[in-house]
Amino acid sequence: MYIDTRTKETMQQSLYELFDVSNVQLDDLFLKAGTLSMTDHYMDMGKFNSVINEFIEAEMYDKSIEYLLFFHLGRRLNSAGNSVEGKNLFELLSSESDLNIFLKSHGVTFRINKQLLNLFYKGKMISLDDTSREYVPYLRWRLGYNVNQIDYCFNGFMFKDQLVRNDYARSLFHAPEFIRVLADFLNERDIITDYVEKSKYYCFEYLVPIEKVFFDDDKNLIKEEKQKYLLNRVLSRLYKYFTGDNNLFDHDNPILRLDDTDEMQAKFFIKKEELTWEMLR
What is the rounded CA–CA span in Å between residue 31 and residue 52?
11
As a whole number, mean pLDDT of residues 123-148 equals: 93
Q: How confident is the model at residue 280 (pLDDT cuts 50, 70, 90)?
A: confident
- pLDDT value for 246: 65
Q: How far is CA 237 from CA 7, 209, 250, 271, in A?
A: 11, 22, 10, 24
Q: How confident is the model at residue 247 (pLDDT cuts 50, 70, 90)?
A: low
Q: How far is CA 174 from CA 83, 166, 195, 280, in A?
A: 21, 14, 9, 12
- pLDDT value for 249: 79
Average pLDDT, the chain: 93
Residue-wise pLDDT tens digits, 68-79: 999 999 999 999
As a whole number, mean pLDDT of residues 109-123 equals: 94
pLDDT above 80 (res 126): yes
pLDDT above 80 (res 40): no
pLDDT above 70 (res 37): yes
Cross-strand bridge partners of residue 178: none
Residue-wise pLDDT tens digits, 168-223: 898 999 899 999 999 999 999 999 999 999 999 999 999 999 999 999 988 899 99
- Domain residue extents for the chain: 1-75+156-170+201-274, 76-155+171-200+275-280
DSSP-assigned letter for residue 218: B
Percent of the chain with pLDDT over 90: 80
Q: CB–CB of 127/142 below 8 Å?
A: no
Q: CB–CB of 222/179 below 8 Å?
A: no
Q: How confident is the model at residue 94 (pLDDT cuts 50, 70, 90)?
A: very high
**Residue type for position 194:** D
- pLDDT value for 62: 85
The answer to whether the pTM exceeds 0.85 is yes
Burial letters 90-109, b for 16+ CB under 10 A, else e: bbbbeeebbbbebbeebebb
As a whole number, mean pLDDT of residues 10-22 equals: 94
CB-based contacts of 272, cutoff 8 Å, min separation 6: 84, 202, 203, 204, 205
Q: How far is CA 83 from CA 104, 266, 271, in A?
A: 20, 8, 11
